[in-house]
Amino acid sequence: MTCAHAARTAAGAGLFSCHSCSLLVRRPSMTGRVTVRCPRCGARLHLRKPNSITRSWALLIAALIFYIPANLFPVTITSYLGSIQADTIMSGVIFFMQTGSWGIALIIFVASIVVPIAKLIVLGGLLISVQRRSRWRPAERTRLYRITELVGRWSMLDVFVVTVLVALVRLGYLTTIQAGVGVVYFAAVVVITMIAAMTFDPRLIWDVLEKNDESNAH
Amino acid sequence: MNQTPTDTPVLSPMPEPEIQRGKRFSIVWLIPLVAVLIGCWLVVKTIRETGPTITVVFKSAEGLVPGKTEIKYKDVTVGKVQRIQLSADLTQVYVTAAMSREVSAHLTQDTLFWVVRARLAVGEVSGISTLLSGAYIGMMPGTGGKAIHRFEGREKPPAIFRNTPGRQFNLRAEQLGSLDIGSPVYYRQVKVGRVINVDMAADGTGVSLEIFVEAPYDKQVKRGSRFYNASGLNVKIGADGVRIDTPSLASLLVGGISFFTADNLKTAPPPTANHTFALHDNRDAANAAIFSYREYYLLYFEETVRGLSPGVPVDLYGIKIGEVISIRLLFDQDKLTFRIPVLISIEPDRIELAGELAMPEYNVVEKLVEKGLRAQQRTGNLLTGQCYVSMHFQPEGEPQAIRRDDVYPVLPTIPNAVEEIVATARQMLNRFNDLSLEETLVDIREAAREVKAMTGSNTLESAIKNIDQSFAELKKVTSDLNQGTLPKVNGMLDQARETLARGEQTLATANIVLGEGAPAVYNLNRLLLELQEAARAVEALADYLERHPDSIVFGKGDEG
């Protein structure tokens, strides 16, 4: 079954599929450092996202590094009637839990802690599996990738909350909220993981199967 | 496979080209590199900023919240409380705090920590911001020395910060009064400093205070400066009348210390580092203490010392040279007599000197006593009966010497001036009594008889008869005088004496009283008037006596 489907790809047919307008373009025989463009929309044509694995790895590592200060440094600095309290992401979650706001605590916990960690792990796992040419459950892995890409942006929620709070809560001496350094790193983690997810080419998951098919066919 | 037939013949015979992927460095790796660099920078920064962790021991952690309470110096956050624990015996609280690196060099043995809470005191309101924000821990950096990690927290903030320009002085007081840490120090009623520490003296005999006088006023403190307690209301009724001292209202309530420097000490050098000033109870005491060297003498009085109290002045020629320290009553069990030893202190520095000192100092008083220096109790204030001790010279008195067999040298005394008057008056009256008028008359009669025998004339006889008659009258008058007037005079004098005694010896010597013209002089005036009348009567008698012998001797008989 899969063997039959595997051959029906643009790459297998010796064609480019334009990423922008999905026009099928015949793959030229020239190799080396040439730029191939779509005749219809002018987008660059390539079989797979260029340097996908390397770029994804680089971005993933950067995100991983930034994730440490993002969790250690405070994201909000609240001064309430002169007393100053700096909260990291986790202490904020604990604070909401302690004050009984379980819902908010859960949302922040999921959006700011679970999702980024899950993204980092999933992306790392996908990259490793692609590099090891794993044939294990490509469909599930692809779905995982889709979920990752879909959910990743929601981690920005925390950043937005902080930005909105900083902008809104300016009651002078009574209460002021300032953004902490942590939020910058946290935003960096979210953005970089999003880019990493984008640079990752899920077709690489299937390439292994395809090549195996080809080798089987010969 | 439905491949395009055109491609296959072209491509199939051609070998697959070796595609050399550019192994060049992908620019995307700059992102993790930057991340690593930022990470490293953060790590280094954090390590650099993280100072030592210290433990401060407090009696109570009231208002302190772990992870929230900050440690501040000059309102700059230099640390944060991390943990609060009770000591094993539950008497203390260990506050663990992470300090920032910039103050780590100042966490030495003399670094002070205290909890800043809202403090409301008369004359001082501080830490109001903590009412809303909660307490924080104040810190005063140490001046150097070995860094330590365990500190004893103070309950109160230090009154003066260490780097405030100025100087610290030590005072010693009999008792604290209303002074406390933070009480103001005034110079010419300008607030120039504060009390920074109050402690019991090591031997428990007094209170030692540390005060801080801010620059540039600290230069006003000279070696001879006098400090006194300017607290409260000072009402004094003494030999010089009623006096009320009121300092500023604030110090009336919270207490305070004032100091001044006598004019002649303005150029004195500043005090040495460990100089301890005495803190006097009030300005008068401080004034009096300008002469710190004192000599003590004992006076024994054998009369009432009512009106004499510790602190009354001892004066010489009307100038205060010392004061009474204590008065006791001594009963001699062997002789069954009472004596009153009065201890006085003399401040010799009050007396300016002229000439060269020809004898050892300790001999001066002895020489003066030889010259007639005596102590006497006198009334200073007729209204209140306050007495003072007067030192004066009485060369005519019997010579006495200073006695050194007691605890203190004993100066000779003379009785109170009123007692003296009474004694003199009695002596005078006794002398009147002793006047041998009768003998004189007998003598005169004999003389007359001799004259009669000599002359033998009748006229003379009748004259003599007249004289006899006159003498009889004279005798009568004299006896009248003896029996009536003189006892009356005596009685009057006794009465006057009683009045005086009842007036608590408020009457000073006649000289002083007349000079002062006080109302009580009236009594003395009356006494004097009565004495005068008595004297006039005696005078009339003398006149009479005088006239008649004349007429006898010179023959001017019948007009007797």
User: Do B400 and B462 have their domain in common?
Assistant: no
- Identify the domain boundary among B397, B415, B433: B415
Specify if B102 maps to a domain: yes
- Give the type of residue at B297: Y
Specify if B37 maps to a domain: no
**pLDDT, position B402:** 82
Distance CA B60, CA B425 (A): 80
The more confidently predicted of residues B69 and B156 is: B69
How large a percentage of chain B has pLDDT more than 90?
A: 1
Q: Is the pLDDT of residue B508 over 60?
A: no
Chain B CB contacts of A198 below 8 Å: none
User: Do B549 and B472 have their domain in common?
Assistant: yes
Inter-chain CB proximity B7 and A14 less than 8 Å: yes
Q: How far is CA B375 from CA B38, B312, B321, B412, B418, in A?
A: 94, 14, 13, 6, 15
The more confidently predicted of residues A41 and B57 is: B57
Inter-chain CB proximity B133 and A14 less than 8 Å: no
Nearest CA-CA partner of A116 in A190, A61, A196: A190
Q: Is the pLDDT of residue B513 over 50?
A: no
For A109-136, write each residue's pLDDT tens digit: 888 888 899 999 999 998 998 888 888 8
**pLDDT, position A6:** 46
Q: Which of A71-75, B101-105, B163-167, B285-289 has the lowest mean pLDDT?
A: B285-289
Residue count of chain B:
560
For B223-236, write each residue's pLDDT tens digit: 778 888 876 666 76
Distance CA A98, CA A87 (A): 14
Distance CA B279, CA B274 (A): 15
| Closest residue to A65, CB basis, from B11, B36, B129 | B36
Specify if B270 maps to a domain: yes
- Identify the domain boundary among B95, B127, B154: B154
How large a percentage of chain A has pLDDT more than 90?
A: 5
For residues B29-44, give the mean pLDDT: 86
Q: Is the pLDDT of residue B322 over 80?
A: yes
Cβ B254 vs Cβ B247: under 8 Å: no
User: Do B433 and B508 have their domain in common?
Assistant: yes
Distance CA B192, CA B126 (A): 19
Chain A CB contacts of B31 below 8 Å: 58-59, 62, 192
Which residues, 6 or more positions from A124, have their beta carbon under 8 angstroms from its beta carbon? A60
Instruction: Evaluate the CA torsion angle B299, B389, B369, B501 in order and state its sign.
Output: negative
CB of B38 less than 8 A from some CB of A: yes
Select the residue from B11, B20, B28 to test the A interface by mutation, using most A Cβ atoms within 10 A: B28
User: Do B273 and B319 have their domain in common?
Assistant: no
Chain B CB contacts of A63 below 8 Å: 35
CB of A29 less than 8 A from some CB of B: yes
For B517-539, write each residue's pLDDT tens digit: 555 567 777 888 888 888 888 88
Chain A CB contacts of B68 below 8 Å: 83, 85
Q: Is the pLDDT of residue B256 over 50?
A: yes
The more confidently predicted of residues B38 and B486 is: B38
Inter-chain CB proximity B31 and A14 less than 8 Å: no
**pLDDT, position B497:** 67
| Closest residue to B26, CB basis, from A51, A83, A192 | A51
Chain A CB contacts of B70 below 8 Å: 84
User: Do B207 and B276 have their domain in common?
Assistant: yes
> Six-digit token pair at B280?
């006097």
Looking up tokens 């500043």, which residue turns up? B270
The total number of structural domains in chain B stands at 4
Distance CA B94, CA B149 (A): 12
Which residues, 6 or more positions from B505, have their beta carbon under 8 angstroms from its beta carbon? B304, B306, B307, B379, B385, B387, B416, B418
| Closest residue to B133, CB basis, from A13, A81, A199 | A81
Q: How many helices (H) and strands (E) does chain A have?
A: 9, 5
User: Do B266 and B320 have their domain in common?
Assistant: no
Residue B155, number of CB atoms within 10 A of its CB: 10
User: Do B67 and B148 have their domain in common?
Assistant: yes
- Orientation of helix A138-152 relative to helix A181-199, angle to 10°: 140
**pLDDT, position B190:** 85
Chain B CB contacts of A69 below 8 Å: 38-39, 42
For B261-270, write each residue's pLDDT tens digit: 877 767 667 7
Specify if B25 maps to a domain: no
User: Do B506 and B423 have their domain in common?
Assistant: yes
CB of A31 less than 8 A from some CB of B: yes
User: Do B443 and B555 have their domain in common?
Assistant: yes
User: Do B275 and B311 have their domain in common?
Assistant: no
For B325-375, write each residue's pLDDT tens digit: 888 888 888 888 888 888 888 877 677 666 665 555 557 778 888 888 888
Nearest Cα of chain B lies from the Cα of A81 at a distance, in angstroms, of: 5
Cβ A76 vs Cβ A92: under 8 Å: yes
Inter-chain CB proximity A59 and B32 less than 8 Å: yes
For A3-23, write each residue's pLDDT tens digit: 444 456 766 667 777 777 878
Domain ranges of chain A: 1-47, 49-217
Select the residue from A54, A83, A95 to test the B interface by mutation, using most B Cβ atoms within 10 A: A83
**pLDDT, position B457:** 59
Specify if B10 maps to a domain: no
Q: Is the pLDDT of residue B298 over 70?
A: yes
User: Do B322 and B237 have their domain in common?
Assistant: no
Residue B385, number of CB atoms within 10 A of its CB: 16
**pLDDT, position B94:** 92
* Cα Rg of chain A, angstroms: 23
CB of B133 less than 8 A from some CB of A: yes
Specify if B525 maps to a domain: yes
Q: Which of A194-203, B1-10, B28-37, B323-332 has the lowest mean pLDDT?
A: B1-10
Residues spanned by the domain of B395:
297-352+359-415
Specify if B26 maps to a domain: no
CATH number attached to the domain at A49-217: 1.20.140
> Contacts for B554-558 with beta carbons within 8 Å, 24 or more apart?
B555/B463, B557/B459, B557/B460, B557/B462, B557/B463, B557/B466, B557/B467, B558/B463, B558/B466
For residues B409-434, give the mean pLDDT: 77
Nearest CA-CA partner of A5 in A139, A179, A113: A139
CB of B359 less than 8 A from some CB of A: no
Residue count of chain A:
218
Band of residue B560 on the pLDDT scale cut at 50, 70, 90: very low
For A60-101, write each residue's pLDDT tens digit: 999 998 998 888 888 888 887 766 778 888 888 888 888 888
Specify if B6 maps to a domain: no
Chain A CB contacts of B36 below 8 Å: 62, 65
* Edge-to-edge order in the sheet of strand A83-87: A83-87, A76-80, A175-179
Nearest CA in chain B to A174: B132
> Contacts for B176-179 with beta carbons within 8 Å, 24 or more apart?
B176/B207, B176/B209, B177/B229, B177/B231, B177/B232, B177/B255, B177/B281, B178/B231, B178/B232, B178/B254, B178/B255, B179/B209, B179/B229, B179/B231, B179/B255, B179/B256, B179/B257
**pLDDT, position B120:** 65
The more confidently predicted of residues B509 and B120 is: B120
Instruction: Evaluate the CA torsion angle A121, A123, A128, A129 in order and state its sign.
Output: positive
**pLDDT, position A209:** 74
Helix, strand, coil distribution of chain A in percent, nearest 5: 60, 10, 30
* Number of CB pairs, chain A paired with chain B, less than 8 A apart: 66
Distance CA B552, CA B443 (A): 13
Inter-chain CB proximity A62 and B42 less than 8 Å: no
User: Do B74 and B171 have their domain in common?
Assistant: no
CB of B45 less than 8 A from some CB of A: no
**pLDDT, position B445:** 82
Nearest CA-CA partner of B97 in B74, B80, B116, B72: B80
| Closest residue to B32, CB basis, from A13, A58, A73 | A58
Q: Is the pLDDT of residue B557 over 60?
A: no
Inter-chain CB proximity B133 and A82 less than 8 Å: yes
> Six-digit token pair at B327?
């008065």
Q: Is the pLDDT of residue B10 over 50?
A: no
Band of residue B248 on the pLDDT scale cut at 50, 70, 90: low
CB of A55 less than 8 A from some CB of B: yes
Report the Cα–Cα distance between both ends of chain B, in Å, rounded.
195
| Mean pLDDT across chain B | 76
Select the residue from B8, B40, B42, B47 to test the A interface by mutation, using most A Cβ atoms within 10 A: B42
- Identify the domain boundary among B268, B288, B308: B288
CB of B10 less than 8 A from some CB of A: yes
